[in-house]
Structure 1
Amino acid sequence: MAMYSSLPVYAILLLLSWTFNSLPLCASDNRIVAGKPLSPGNVLVSQDGVFALGFFSPSNSTKNYHYVGIWYNRIPERTVVWVSNRAAPITTNLSSANLVVTNNSDIVLSDSNGRVLWTTNNSVSMNSISVEAVLDNTGNFILRSLADSAILWQSFDHPTDTLLPGMNIRLSHNTLPLQHLVSWKAQHDPSPGEFSYGADPSSLLQCFIWNGSRPHLRSPVWTNYLYMDKFNKSAIYMALHHAGDEVYMSFGMPTGSFILLVRMQIDYLGKVNILSWDSNMSVWRALYAEPQHECNTYGYCGPYGYCDNTATVPVCKCLDGFEPRDGKGWIAGSFSQGCRPKEVRRCTHGDDFLAFPGMKVPDKFLHLPSRSFDECREECRSNCSCVAYAYSRMSNMDIDGDDTRCLVWMGDLIDMENNTQGGENLYVRTRILQGDMKKITTLEIVLSVVSSFLVLICVGLICIYAFRDGTRKLLLNWSTRFKIIRGVARGLLYLHQDSRLMMIHRDLKASNILLDAEMSPKISDFGTARLFGVHEQEGHTNQVVGTFGYMSPEYAMEGIISVKSDVYSFGVLLLEIVSGMKIGTTTPSAHARAHNLIDYAWSLRKDGKMMDLVDSSIVEGCSLVEPLRCIHIGLLSVQDDPDARPLMSSVIASLDNKDIELPQPKEPMCFARRNYGAGESQADDLSLENLKGR
């Protein structure tokens, strides 16, 4: 807009109109009054200049249809946010059409033949009172009384496919119908489409995208009456409100938001998007979009199946203790049959529940009001028809005076998802094993997140220590080792960044990496793990625990804990996997000065002989580019300065993209030099006192 700054306002609007369509639009004020209709070629413009209302024809449309709508006035890409006559376009001579305020206090759109195409159909008769129709700064087209400004009708009460900040969607009312956003029929056809977005008629706690009458996508069940998420330095909120006998959902931004233009829209493909205008690139950017994948659509994974969004590509999986009902179909990508229990389950008084954290809980729940957590659990435990429950404390009591939310399920669990962020605990009925069930602690909940993230049924566990003493080494070719390296790296990234609470493992080593039959790794043994709060980045301890050789210098000497502690351990593990050696293995006599594997690797690097570190059993039959790059990443990860070590996100990017240039590592000081004897195990668990003693 800088190029137009010296032009008068009418010239700016005229220039903008040329980018919208071929009609020579003329600027008008922001209102229509009786006797002064709005005609084609004129527009209403809100006082702040953000919105415009007028006649338009969709760009690239093959039909010569015209509509009256509201769009953003100041952006070059015309974006329509409301259409009055979407079901009855103007198909005759446009020049004689007009939009008028009548003496009966209505707004009426008619074509050249005098046929009424759309009207507000205002039920209030106010023949003796003057009215006006105003386009206000929020994008709301309002019919109001001139006497007292009472609102007789407003476009915000009749949304089309778009929700603007300040608009509401009616979720419940004693007499009025529920409201929905209804998609366009096609990209350039604003007539009502197949998809709609609105509340579940049976519950205020969730919304749906409908394909006709069939559910297409279900929102997560509300855990708070106010939901807020941050996008691009700003925040978007969605909230439930209670006003009289009406419950509605609102959408908007806090005052002073960084994002100036934002809207929520259901598009013609059935996707709900939250979009913001990028003025630098002159494009709408999606801040949020659902569904993101076919796996996210309603009931895609069938009963007791869930869409695992923690995977690189979302995929259907069965809850723990369940298996695919149609094994062949499941392998072929047909998941509609869902899952079934692996063994027959009988309801007993001793049944308890297994927690599945980070879940979008299932559909078809029964909402039990005014229950504590214990009461909610007992309601389900005492009823053999109950298969699961979920509980949440709401942030306020705006809706019905009840700040609890107890949900129970009496039938199949359908339409579930597992997420890296968000979600809640779903408690599924299970039998107590051997008369004992451990209590679920905060740490165990996080650990089960890790387990569900990997979702591995370990048929056979093989230690990475198969690298020693002969024939088992042959099982670990380079592609298998690289798969293990990447798998462990992604597991650590999940612990550090993607889980609900950041977790530092503190004892990452070869013996704590388990492999299943497909040689996929699983990080185990979280007995020494440390949980960090949302704003914590570093911690201290006087009781250092872990395994000698894998501990970072700052942790072993000063008790400083951070994600970089695990990065150091990962670097040691990476060197072990590539070389087939253990951290304290005695090095060849030519490098007698090397006291451990890190020292040995650095010595070879200085001598230009890094290829000598690669395990001889994998040298043949593979390019050395990947093994040498892994050694480089390993040396970067074991640097003395924690700030110099890469984050796991950078490690994964460097493993996946060979075009990323790696910095040069600095020589480690090998803080605790100890010459291990041949074959001596270095799995010594040490406290800080023991370490000092040595």
Structure 2
Amino acid sequence: MGLSSFMFITVIFLILFFTDSLALDSIRQHQSLSDGRTLVSSEGRFELGFFSPDTSENRYLGIWYKNIPLRTVVWVANRCNPINDSSGVLTINSTGDLVLLGQNKSLVWWSSSLKRAQIPFVQILDSGNLVLRDEKDGNAENYVWQSFDYPCDTLLPSMKLGWDLRTGLKRSLSAWRSPDDPCPEDFTYRIEPQPGTYPEGYIRRGTGKFYRTGPWNGLRFSGSPELRPNPLYEFHFVDTDDEVYYMYKLVNESVISKLALNQTTRTRERSIWIEANQTWREYSSVPRDLCDDYGVCGANGKCTIGQNPVCECLKGFKPKSQELWDGMDWSKGCERSVPLSCQDKHTDGFVKFVDLKLPDTTNSWMDKNMNLEECRAKCLNNCSCMAYMNSDIRGKGSGCALWFGDLVDVRWFADGQDLYIRMPASELEKNKNTEKTTKTRVDGKVKAAMIAASIIAVVSGMLCLGFFISRKRKAALKEKTKRNEMVDPSNGGRKEDLELPLFHLSKIVTATNNFSMENKLGEGGFGPVYRGILEDGQEIAVKRLSISSGQGVNEFKNEVILIAKLQHRNLVKLLGCCIEGEEKLLVYEYMPNKSLDSFIFDHKQEKLLEWSQRFQIICGVARGLLYLHQDSRLRIIHRDLKPSNVLLDKEMNPKISDFGMARTFGGDQTEGNTNRVVGTYGYMAPEYAFDGQFSIKSDVFSFGILMLEIISGKRSRGFHHQNHGITLIGHAWTLFQEGKPFQLIDACMNDYSQDLSEVLRCIHISLLCVQQRPVDRPSMPSVVLMLSGEGALPEPKPPGYFIETDHLAEPYSSSSKHGLSSTAYSITMTVMEAR
């Protein structure tokens, strides 16, 4: 019996030992966590234990990232009450509270909660939240106490920043005093709810306001354009009778991100962990510049970065002290140039100001159920009301926000909001007169320009007519000898004619193995394309125009000479041509990776094209178009930009091809008209497809479509959304308006998480390119700058082709017209027509 009892006790001991050892993420009553041991969340993301910060020897109980070699502490229990040795113990006491004990079991810290658990246990979650729970409670999200309710300097995903108005619980961030002292500094970030006002976030130094987020507008804080919905974050703001808080979540939970106060730089930083570099990369930081400093321009002043000086009074206001203002002391702010006539509400009105960070909402009022007209009437009936706007800008706008007294901390930025500011009748009249004067000047300039254009058009027409007659006569004289001049067999099979290499037919026949089927690369609308190898080993691609192509020798030659003179790394290089008898051949550099569509629209190949390569292709095509539109000898409009006309060399560099439909312009001409619309449906700009009007902005539209296809991996032509049946453009626009542009990204891309802001920026730029009106689209120089820069982008207006209709599908399709297939080297030559 003695041996049996011993074995039984041993087994029980081992079970208890291994149970305690395996429960690495939690401890229960009568268990403890001593200095030197840690708890690790179930998936190994966060760790709870004792640590000493920086150069300090003091010990603190904290939470840090487990899988990051650079220890980053996100929460500290005993911030201002350190333990000066390794005697610290975390346990659950007899009343169910979580307690931290120091020397001689002295109480260092405890979880203050009015709730009680019958069978308490504490657990570290993969969210970084330390929770005290009751094992008898079947709801895993019912916490007796949680560390997320008591943040330190870091806001983690799914963590609330704000107030529980029922219990009075305040959740705010406070910076560490120094790198080796986590005790709270007087540098804080919090949401400050005031009953009936428009809530927003403030960073304070002591009691003074240091930075203001601007109020929440339904999508983001109005002064925080970096919070725009993107593929990395989802932002949430809740404002009810029970609680007011801000929270963010990660779209991709594998990304490691935090928002923290930096006591050294006095900034609030949003960061992402970059595994490849083993470092934190700053995603955004505030304050960003001088205009982010709270109230830098004083009351009723406006701050604009890039303007000198940065401060100016709002329209209808003047400096309170001109002397101080001229000395760049703007602290006194501005006052009205003309007082309001509040006794007669009909004499006052409102002027619309655009692109503003909304004023401080300390003296504001909000009603979520009013519309904009009701909001205006509400403000007009109150003599103290200075401004109004929709409190929620989503959709067509809703809700009402009113401001009373001075308008403080206003700045301008490109992604700002509208605000209607109250003005007396005299200022309203000035505003109308200014608009009339501006319109009159513009009308005068337009009339003058029209007269000048008419004169130039008449003179140009006469010159062109004379030139045409002269060319006609010369062409007739040269017609008899042109075939002999095109090719000189005695010159090694080649001849330079206007710097254009001419190949002998026999050389090309040998290179392509007599145009064998094994060498055939594809079939275009005007004939097949063959791969060939010249005698010197150079690989070439040969386009063999069919006899029925309709191309004359002169038209063919002129078109080829045009392409041959284009020299740019992102344009396909034409090596030469051959015209002998009925044969008309184009010879150009061989592209081993064929065309872009063979990658982005192929389920197997698209996985090989990561975001970095896609972005380089986008930038390369943009540079190629910039050259055509601005830097080449003649301005060239391509008119048929699409993935099958973007070829890829062995290093995946993009090269624009197929100039068969291109048009050239000289001088300052940027647009033209045609009665014969050619191109590919799905890529043509609306004004070209319906009215035959083409310009450099037509190519910009096609480039925007190309960008959307590269990002999404979906074809523009034939795209049909399963729920609302809109085009690819409409789908992208809808997602952008709903704050979900990340849903557009090709699911096959796995490496874009580190460059999410770049992907989002490209979606934004593509929507600017496909706007309905050509005048709203950026030029290619602007597109190239936007792709390479990081500045704020303008808001896009609705795109063309928002709804796809079947009757558009065939009339403007080049494939229906010429039988084009989507292959590399599908070059089509222009059939010249009179204008």
TM-score, L = length of structure 2? 0.48
Which of the residues 279, 283, 301 maps onto 1:283?
A: 279
Query: Matched residues in 2 for 1:66 and 1:141: separation?
Result: 19
Query: Matched residues in 1 for 2:428 and 2:248: separation?
Result: 50
Per-residue deviation, 1:232 = 11
Query: Matched residues in 2 for 1:303 and 1:415: separation?
Result: 7
Query: Matched residues in 1 for 2:385 and 2:53: separation?
Result: 52
- The answer on 1:329 being equivalent to 2:324 is yes
Contact kept in structure 2, 1:200 and 1:207, CA below 8 Å: yes
The residue identity in structure 1 corresponding to 2:72 is T
Structure 1 residues 191 and 341: alpha-carbon distance in aligned structure 2, compared to 1, 3 A threshold: same
Query: Matched residues in 2 for 1:563 and 1:66: separation?
Result: 65
- The answer on 1:121 being equivalent to 2:104 is no
Query: Matched residues in 2 for 1:285 and 1:439: separation?
Result: 51
Per-residue deviation, 1:109 = 0.9
Contact kept in structure 2, 1:171 and 1:198, CA below 8 Å: no
- The answer on 1:110 being equivalent to 2:101 is yes
Per-residue deviation, 1:351 = 2.2
Equivalent position of 1:414 in the other structure: 408
Per-residue deviation, 1:564 = 8.7
Query: Matched residues in 2 for 1:315 and 1:436: separation?
Result: 24
Equivalent position of 1:75 in the other structure: 68
Equivalent position of 1:366 in the other structure: 364
Per-residue deviation, 1:84 = 0.5
SS at match of 1:260: coil
Matches of residues 598-609 of structure 1 in structure 2 within 5 Å?
none
Structure 1 residues 317 and 162: alpha-carbon distance in aligned structure 2, compared to 1, 3 A threshold: same
Equivalent position of 1:140 in the other structure: 129
Query: Matched residues in 2 for 1:326 and 1:436: separation?
Result: 23
The residue identity in structure 2 corresponding to 1:560 is F
SS at match of 1:38: strand
Per-residue deviation, 1:551 = 4.2
Query: Matched residues in 2 for 1:343 and 1:157: separation?
Result: 50
Equivalent position of 1:560 in the other structure: 694
Equivalent position of 2:259 in the other structure: 264
Contact kept in structure 1, 2:162 and 2:245, CA below 8 Å: yes
Deviation track 1:238-291 (CA, whole Å, cap 9, x = no partner) reads 21236883333221123x46x611112122254222211111222212222211
Contact kept in structure 2, 1:354 and 1:430, CA below 8 Å: no
* Consecutive unaligned residues in structure 1, runs of 5 or more: 1-25, 397-402, 449-547, 567-641, 655-691
SS at match of 1:234: coil
Query: Matched residues in 2 for 1:117 and 1:151: separation?
Result: 22
Structure holding more helix per residue: 2
Equivalent position of 1:236 in the other structure: 233
Once structures 1 and 2 are overlaid, which stretch shifts more, 362-371 or 412-421? 362-371
Equivalent position of 2:158 in the other structure: 166
Which of the residues 47, 68, 72 maps onto 1:52?
A: 47
Structure 1 residues 346 and 104: alpha-carbon distance in aligned structure 2, compared to 1, 3 A threshold: same
Contact kept in structure 1, 2:198 and 2:401, CA below 8 Å: no
Query: Matched residues in 2 for 1:121 and 1:55: separation?
Result: 20
The residue identity in structure 2 corresponding to 1:249 is Y
Contact kept in structure 2, 1:367 and 1:405, CA below 8 Å: no
- The answer on 1:224 being equivalent to 2:223 is no
SS at match of 2:199: strand
Per-residue deviation, 1:108 = 0.9
Structure 1 residues 206 and 232: alpha-carbon distance in aligned structure 2, compared to 1, 3 A threshold: closer
Structure 1 residues 262 and 563: alpha-carbon distance in aligned structure 2, compared to 1, 3 A threshold: farther
Structure 1 residues 562 and 354: alpha-carbon distance in aligned structure 2, compared to 1, 3 A threshold: farther
Deviation track 1:567-623 (CA, whole Å, cap 9, x = no partner) reads xxxxxxxxxxxxxxxxxxxxxxxxxxxxxxxxxxxxxxxxxxxxxxxxxxxxxxxxx
Residues paired across the two proteins, number? 440
Equivalent position of 2:176 in the other structure: 184
Query: Matched residues in 1 for 2:410 and 2:779: separation?
Result: 41
Contact kept in structure 2, 1:162 and 1:264, CA below 8 Å: yes
Which of the residues 636, 641, 647 maps onto 2:782?
A: 647
Structure 1 residues 27 and 39: alpha-carbon distance in aligned structure 2, compared to 1, 3 A threshold: farther
Deviation track 1:474-502 (CA, whole Å, cap 9, x = no partner) reads xxxxxxxxxxxxxxxxxxxxxxxxxxxxx
Percent identity over the alignment is 29
Per-residue deviation, 1:346 = 4.0
Structure 1 residues 415 and 693: alpha-carbon distance in aligned structure 2, compared to 1, 3 A threshold: farther
Equivalent position of 1:86 in the other structure: 79
Query: Matched residues in 1 for 2:422 and 2:279: separation?
Result: 45
Structure 1 residues 182 and 225: alpha-carbon distance in aligned structure 2, compared to 1, 3 A threshold: same
Which of the residues 318, 331, 356 maps onto 2:353?
A: 356
SS at match of 1:362: coil
Structure 1 residues 644 and 207: alpha-carbon distance in aligned structure 2, compared to 1, 3 A threshold: closer
Once structures 1 and 2 are overlaid, which stretch shifts more, 63-72 or 237-246? 237-246
TM-score, L = length of structure 1? 0.57
Deviation track 1:27-61 (CA, whole Å, cap 9, x = no partner) reads 971111223211111111111111111101112x3
Matches of residues 390-429 of structure 1 in structure 2 within 5 Å?
390-393=389-392, 404-429=398-423
Equivalent position of 2:765 in the other structure: none
The residue identity in structure 2 corresponding to 1:191 is C
Per-residue deviation, 1:337 = 1.2
The residue identity in structure 2 corresponding to 1:79 is T
The residue identity in structure 1 corresponding to 2:126 is N
Query: Matched residues in 2 for 1:341 and 1:171: separation?
Result: 37
Matches of residues 197-216 of structure 1 in structure 2 within 5 Å?
197-202=189-194, 203=197, 205-216=199-210
Query: Matched residues in 2 for 1:644 and 1:365: separation?
Result: 43
Query: Matched residues in 1 for 2:249 and 2:207: separation?
Result: 28
SS at match of 1:210: strand
Deviation track 1:603-647 (CA, whole Å, cap 9, x = no partner) reads xxxxxxxxxxxxxxxxxxxxxxxxxxxxxxxxxxxxxxx999533
Deviation track 1:124-171 (CA, whole Å, cap 9, x = no partner) reads 344xx3221100111111111122254211111111111111111233
Query: Matched residues in 1 for 2:36 and 2:258: separation?
Result: 27
Contact kept in structure 2, 1:275 and 1:284, CA below 8 Å: yes
Deviation track 1:73-106 (CA, whole Å, cap 9, x = no partner) reads 1112111111100021112x22x22111222211
Deviation track 1:384-412 (CA, whole Å, cap 9, x = no partner) reads 3322222234659xxxxxx9432222311
Structure 1 residues 395 and 130: alpha-carbon distance in aligned structure 2, compared to 1, 3 A threshold: same
Which of the pair has more CA radius of gyration?
Answer: 2
Matches of residues 406-555 of structure 1 in structure 2 within 5 Å?
406-432=400-426, 550-553=668-671
- The answer on 1:389 being equivalent to 2:388 is yes
Query: Matched residues in 1 for 2:122 and 2:101: separation?
Result: 16
Contact kept in structure 2, 1:272 and 1:289, CA below 8 Å: yes
Deviation track 1:9-32 (CA, whole Å, cap 9, x = no partner) reads xxxxxxxxxxxxxxxxx9971111
Equivalent position of 1:306 in the other structure: 302
- Structure with bigger RCO (C-alpha 8 Å, 6+ apart): 2
Per-residue deviation, 1:426 = 3.9
Contact kept in structure 2, 1:365 and 1:407, CA below 8 Å: no
Query: Matched residues in 2 for 1:334 and 1:27: separation?
Result: 65
SS at match of 1:301: coil
Structure 1 residues 67 and 554: alpha-carbon distance in aligned structure 2, compared to 1, 3 A threshold: farther
